[in-house]
Structure 1
Amino acid sequence: MSFLSRVKQLFGGDTLVEEESPVEAHEIGAEPQESVLSTAAQTVEQQGGRARREAADFDALEELLIDAGIDVDTTMAILQEVRRGGLLGRPTAEQVIERIRGKLSAVLDLDSTLHTTGSPAVVLVTGVNGAGKTSSIAKLANMLKHENRTVLLVAADTFRAGAVDQLAILADRVGVPMMRSVEGQDPSSVVFNGLQKAVADKVDVVVIDTAGRLENKKNLTFELQKVVRVIETKFGLPLSETLLVIDATTGENALMQARAFSEAIPISGIILTKVDSGAKGGSIVSIARELRIPIKLVCNGETLMSIKPFDKDDIVDMILLSE
């Protein structure tokens, strides 16, 4: 059952219990004083029952939000928004969903513009192994090529066996040149050579593939920082984008990854992958809320064309429709 369906189940089908009519004083055998006390007791009991049911429903909603991958702080903010004044009585499912959607949209409402201007524009792509980094680079190159931009790929992932060959195959499929490296070569030297070629050939956009760094491998983090220094100091080129690839199915570990990479280098945006794999996607909301990092691109398939600019409504729908 989807998140949306479970919210409707919580808030959609219940109706308030109608209060019983107070006993009329003139009815045979009725005592007016006892009737008033009995009615008051019934009212208090009904109000208490509604309060208990409402508390249980909101506890269940809290569990649903956290289960969707949304962090505790964002979950509390959403619950506060749903509970805030302005609704008479218990909120309906439609009102709850509307306020959840509104809060998620507001958190994700960041500048998602992909910046690829420069002479050349330099886009650095990083992320952990298995997130879909190399294939995302190929999709990005293909997208830029279809925009009539010239592209050079730089294979600076010299640590993972087969990484250079994998990118070379994808570069051939896209039809763009690639600056090769050999396994174990200093990534900074590969980037230096690639930028020299890009400047000489007047390439529009350079896309740099870096090693799939685990956030706890400090030596690889230092290499990443060194690559950034080469770009910015030796060539005097500002990074147009530093994109972190995040697997949408990762869950709360995605926030940990984003924190770690942000501590190493400034991250300007996210490429969100595997959104077509049953991802809940709530973790991306946590990244946007805590780190203010926007999603720039979304990959939703296996083909080179399966990449598109971020649309917050699509991501909100993905979260609400997640199983």
Structure 2
Amino acid sequence: MPVSALCLPNRVKDSLRASGIEQCDALFAVPSDQLGRRYDVDTTRYLDRLLGRAKETKPAHRLPRRFEQRLRFDGCIHSTEGLRFPLRNLFGALALDLRARDRAAQHIRITLEHPSAPDTQLPIGLSAPARDADYWLLMTREHLARLKLPEDVTAIALHCDSFHSLDAPQLDLFDTGRAQEEAWRQTVERLIARLGDEAVWEMGLADDHRPECAWQRQNPTTKSSASLAPLSSDRPLWLFDPPRPLQGSPSLMGSTERIETGWWEGEEIRRDYFVAASDTGARLWVYQDRSSLRWYLHGLWA
């Protein structure tokens, strides 16, 4: 290999050529101390690294803080069906980027550019981080199915600003619970993508002692400590709204639970709750209003 192929300054190459050294084998045969007396430190250090006599420290490669990729079309795309192919390319690039980071994405944003109308922003979120390109494409197609384009699309861009650790648990041949949980999560995400965030929700706990106020609607893709808290078996899930008045005193069983709260909101309650038995043997959740001393049926166990 000629010396001209080395990454040396031109003045060093000219000096070597003038000395009759034109091939690398002849250059490598010259002792390092002789080269050091004739040339600068950078030249001898480069040759030592090239021959493995000195360590070569490579700068660390750092990926960008966010993922951004844009595709501009030669023509215009008139419907969302025509966006499937460019979206497949974008999600393929996102999957490679996530694999290089050893991370996953939970929220992305797709930007559709139009000739004159403002850009269409399409945020998409999942309940758990994922990096499978086909799954992201499936969720995006569900969102696009209910999107009405104001104009033709001239370009499309994919943005991902945050990255998360990927939960990849060990699979078990005999444990189907995790597979069923994953299938249920994907079903919920598809329903949200197709029907909208307001159409799909789950029940979570609220910080309130009043039974009728102790629950709240929340997005299934938002996991909180309230949604993960175990439900107590001491209270039924089936509550009557409003509570049904009872004629006479029911057949009580178990201990009493007293609830006195809500005075700061102008909706004070003062109740003593009991578990009662009906004539058919069903368990009823009843309370006595401590102000009026009347009995009410508030819920029952199925």
TM, length-normalised to structure 1:
0.23
Structure with higher Rg: it is: 2
Which structure has greater helix proportion? 1
Considering Cα pairs closer than 8 Å and 6+ residues apart, tell me whether 1 or 2 has the greater RCO.
Answer: 1
TM, length-normalised to structure 2:
0.24
